[in-house]
Amino acid sequence: MNISAEGLVDAAQYMASPNCDQRPRGTAIELVVIHNISLPPGVFGGAAVIDLFLNRLDPAAHPYFADVAALRVSAHFFVRRDGALLQFVPCTMRAWHAGQSMWNGRERCNDFSIGIELEGADDVAYSEAQYAGLGKLAGALYARYPIVASVGHSDIAPGRKTDPGPHFAWPRYFQHVTKNN
């Protein structure tokens, strides 16, 4: 898996999200933030997550969508249950995934992080294909950028966020990262 100078991953299907902007000048990419998402909650597959990140989610398509369709959010990557990798924002750009957040005393984690969404929910185990795909991606990110840590969304926004949830196996993740770095 290779990452271009522009921050695009050759193994990912790229769909440009408008929900991004420039990172602050001179800011290094130091953090991987792992999230989970499913739309509607607990429903996997389909195009709803893609549509959310591309600002085309139909609020009338499902009752839950009425509350989230107007959000302007994104992540750099989305890993589906089968391990398929999608990219919405180049790594060199700031994706809008972390919201109000803090890590090691630094606020605004979007400025210095890569956001990876796993297709999932807090109460559902992740698939082996997801761990394998996530490990390959994270290994490539660690090799390309001066990343010093991987954290969950819950770690940088405690009390506000709970993902990737108790079913995310951190040792399994790091085993895959080490194998691919």
Which residues are known to be catalytic? Answer: 117
As beta bridge partners, residue 115 has 33
Contact 107, 147 (CB under 8 A): no
- The amino acid sitting at 142 is Y
**Token reading at 142:** 């660690």
User: Which residue, 129, 125, 128, 97, is CA-closest to 112?
Assistant: 97
CA distance 4 to 125: 32
CA distance 109 to 141: 16
